[in-house]
Amino acid sequence: MAAVQTSGERALNRLAIVAVLVITMIFLAPIYWIVATSFKPRNLATTIPPTVVFTPEISPFVKLMTKRSQLREQPTPEEYAAAPWWERMVFDGGEKVVRDGKDQVQWSAYPSRFLNSLIIAVTSTVLAVGMGTFTAYGFSRFKVKGEGDLLFFILSTRMLPPVVVAIPMFLMYRIVGLTDTHIGLIILYTAFNLSFSVWLMKGFIDEIPKEYEEAALVDGYTRMQAFFKIVLPEAATGIAATAVFCFITAWNEYAFALMMTNRRAQTAPPFIPSQVGSGLPDWTVIAAGTFLFLLPVAFFTFLLRNHLLRGMSFGAIRK
């Protein structure tokens, strides 16, 4: 028989619901503001009071993807009519799209920076989660001399913020020729995420009964076959949760990317603020770049959403 709630309990439940809604709105407000600004005309981006109701347009995304310069004179009606529809949006903002000697549109560096972020974040996440899973399995299933000290040493790599070791790493990278390279950032991000991956995956693997593997070994499986066919499927939830956190860390990392890269391997986080430039900044372009930058993380987290809640509780680290 269901317990009957008192008026006080009902009031507390309503208060809890209101608190959750308020906290959710507080956290979502910056996201809404970024998305709204990325679709605003430039003249509405910094109005006081803020403009909430407006006609959305995609001119900020057009400006983000192209190189532009200020118009010295307005285009003639013939030039305006002959321009593509998306270029007319740039004209309307008092700018023009830069073209080369062959009248080809000069695209901005944002697509290449976005691709660099994708390559580096995905590769470092795969390496960190893969090596972390193997390492965690070894610590979980075998007697390792000095296990506690080794685990503490692995964890100690996360005790300093990246900016503290950025300068020594930059000097070392410059000597070995890894500055402004994809492999250099992949190594850094993998090493930075590896300790987190090891500790989190060890908690997941500790929860998997050893009897499953022992039964597989009795049936003739090798240790590696038992690992791939028994342990990995059972740890899939933990692997997914670990991958999400490692990907988010690598995707959003700023300090190393700012100091270790310049052009060739530069990622999106240090590139987006550089669009402020001098004079009056175009906040709609910066918001458009930020909005596009949010999409891969949101999509990846959405795909693995069913694993996150169970993964957070299933892999609780305990001594």
Residue 197, domain CATH: 1.10.3720.10
Over residues 232-240, the mean pLDDT reads 88
Helices (H), ranges, 41-107: 59-65, 77-82, 85-92
Say yes or no: 221 and 239 in one domain.
Answer: yes
One domain for residues 90 and 116:
no
Q: Indicate whether 239 and 144 sit together in one domain.
A: yes
Q: What is the pLDDT of residue 1?
A: 46
- Give the Cβ contact number of residue 187 at 10 Å: 16
Between 59 and 182, the more confident residue is: 182
| Confidence bin at 26 (pLDDT 50/70/90) | very high
Report in angstroms the alpha-carbon separations of 24 from 13, 20, 34, 155, 202.
16, 6, 16, 32, 32
Q: What is the pTM of this model?
A: 0.84
- Tell me the per-residue pLDDT of 112-159, one tens digit each, with 9 for 90 and over: 999 999 999 999 999 999 999 999 999 988 888 888 888 888 888 778
Q: Is the peptide bond before 49 cis (omega within 30 degrees of 0)?
A: yes
Q: Which residues contact 254 (CB under 8 A, 6 or more apart)?
A: 269, 270
Q: Is residue 45 part of a domain?
A: no
Q: Determine if residue 180 is left, alpha or beta; phi over 0 gives left, psi from -120 to 50 gives alpha, anything else beta.
A: left
State the chain's mean pLDDT as an integer: 85
Q: How many domains is the chain built from?
A: 3
- Which H or E element spans position 251? helix 236-252
Same domain flag for 95 and 204: no
Crossing angle for the helix pair 305-314 and 236-252, nearest 10 degrees? 110
pLDDT category of residue 280 using cuts at 50, 70 and 90: low
To the nearest whole percent, how much of the chain has pLDDT over 90? 33
